Chains A and B, each alone.
Chain A
């Protein structure tokens, strides 16, 4: 089964200023699409629009050739978005954080799944520590654990390599490559040079 997210003549105006206009892009199964551009060129805004978070745009978005406005629920059920902030509650342990994210998708999940996902991002022994006591990089890893925990086809990642050490970066790159090989697709922004074997397409903004 393949998937396809397509934007036609996408444009976004904020406070009387056009961030981008007439943007066409398509991302399919097995592809990594990287959005590039200088600071303030609207990369995050574009990602938010493509993740269905921002509804204020002109042009049309299609999810598997259905307009996104009509297929919103189905689209969201296949989406995993990681933004600038990791979305990890400081007052909850990594395990509890992941449990909430699973439940948010309507899946109760199991403790083993969560432990395994945390082990995969190298957080063994931190499962029950309150996330507020973890470092920024470790909190980031809790968020990244969702990539393995929740199987979603479309990943939209805003600067996923922020605050992660070199080994973590290598592992995440491998994970991205494995995801597209398995038929998923990835949309991302990063200032980091991607060392991924699979094809990476670029969209230039600004």
Chain B
């Protein structure tokens, strides 16, 4: 177990392993997203109430799921970095923050677009959208704090503490916002309970969610690799790598 962690903690080893894993994740994610999109947009039945506009769910829900998962995984990486001082974890947390912010924005934007046919307005202070908006602010805070420090090491540690404080607060914020929003609808889709949607509607959704997750893993691997090169630019193995490439 320990040797495993230390192996993955070595930037060089991570770089070569992630290079091998990366194409698989890209292929699987593109495949899943393509299948999910086609199925969801063309073959899934229209909603009896919302008509075709409900199909935006195939972007909105995966993005919202992913955004929250990214915050949790960022905080987990921060914890690993703070406890075991594994630098690769911090590099991953560094690249996850902007990805999470973009995903949160996608969820908010698709939610707003969905709002036009459903509520007749671009923005409603609906519980889920409000929580998403707060999540966006949390992501922006982590990014801003990291970049505010002149020393990269201190910035990393400060951002890690904030990510951990944030992840403790996310369930509290979600709960309190739900409480505040008395007219809220139950969450669309839970993995644990049986969905209220018909199978032909939620199956493509599940495929899309999985596709988004694979996409996130692939993108994180790719961006962590460039972060490794950036931070270890003066290390021997990176220099050798660059020589080979030329």
Contact = CB atoms under 8 A, between A and B. Distances in A.
The reply to whether chain A is a binding partner of chain B is yes
Interface in B149-170: 151-153
Contacts of B152: 15-16
Contact of A56 (B153, B231, B232, B234): B153
Interface in B209-246: 231-232, 234
B236 to A, nearest CB: 13
Interface in A1-27: 14-16
Contacts of B231: 16
B241 to A, nearest CB: 17
Contacts of A15: 151-153
Nearest to A17: B234
Interface size class for chain B? Answer: under 10
Contacts, number: 10
Interface string B76-106: 0000000000000000000000000000000
A16 B91 CA distance: 13
Interface in B131-155: 151-153
A96 to B, nearest CB: 32
Interface residues of A, number: 4
Contacts of B234: 16
A56 B152 CA distance: 13
B89 to A, nearest CB: 15
Contacts of A16: 152, 231-232, 234
A16 B228 CA distance: 12
Contacts of B153: 14-15, 56
Nearest to B232: A16
A120 to B, nearest CB: 38
A52 B130 CA distance: 44
B136 to A, nearest CB: 29
A14 B151 CA distance: 8
A145 B237 CA distance: 53
A15 B156 CA distance: 10
Interface string B153-192: 1000000000000000000000000000000000000000
Interface in A104-131: none
Nearest to A58: B85
Contacts of B151: 14-15
A14 B157 CA distance: 13
Nearest to B231: A16
A16 B230 CA distance: 11
A15 B152 CA distance: 6
Nearest to A13: B153
A56 B151 CA distance: 13
10 contacts: A14-B151, A14-B153, A15-B151, A15-B152, A15-B153, A16-B152, A16-B231, A16-B232, A16-B234, A56-B153
Interface of B: 151-153, 231-232, 234
Of all A-B residue pairs in the complex, the 10 with the closest CB atoms, nearest first, are A15-B152, A15-B153, A15-B151, A14-B153, A16-B231, A16-B234, A14-B151, A56-B153, A16-B152, A16-B232
Given A15-B151, A15-B152, A16-B234, 7 more contacts: A14-B151, A14-B153, A15-B153, A16-B152, A16-B231, A16-B232, A56-B153
